[in-house]
Amino acid sequence: MVEDQRKKTLIVVYSTLFLSLLFYVILLWIAPPLYLFSLIPRVLVFLAFPILSIFILIILTPLIIMAWRRLGSRHGWGIIIGLVVVWWLCLISYTIWALLLIVLKSVFHFVA
């Protein structure tokens, strides 16, 4: 009974972490090229990072606490490391898109 509950919690925690990684990939690697070549204001590209940081604070922090309590420190550390990796990937992609927009604006006088 306890083992089934641990397995279920483990599946929920890691699937939520995977979905958050998928969310980051879509929002920060697929959406910006669409923003660049559309009529949507370019500022939306730069709003992605604060929105994702709030997503981390509101959704994933309680998930870490739940995982730590129910699954023990082994999986808790895995969740924390996964969260940090996702956050740094977000920061790196955000920086790359910001640099790309600066280069486009300076070289081609791209209106942002």
How far apart, in whole angstroms, are the C-alpha atoms of residue 95 and residue 101? 10
pLDDT tens string 5-53: 777 777 777 777 777 777 777 766 676 666 666 666 666 666 666 676 6
Whole-Å CA distances, 64 to 3, 7, 21, 46, 89? 19, 16, 15, 27, 19
Give the number of domains in the chain. Answer: 1
- Tell me which H or E stretch contains 40: none
Determine contact, residues 16/55, Cβ cutoff 8 Å: no
At residue 107, the pLDDT reads: 74
At residue 45, the pLDDT reads: 62
Which tokens is 40 given? 């949507």
pLDDT tens string 11-22: 777 777 777 777
pTM (2 d.p.): 0.50
Domain hosting residue 97, numbered range: 2-108
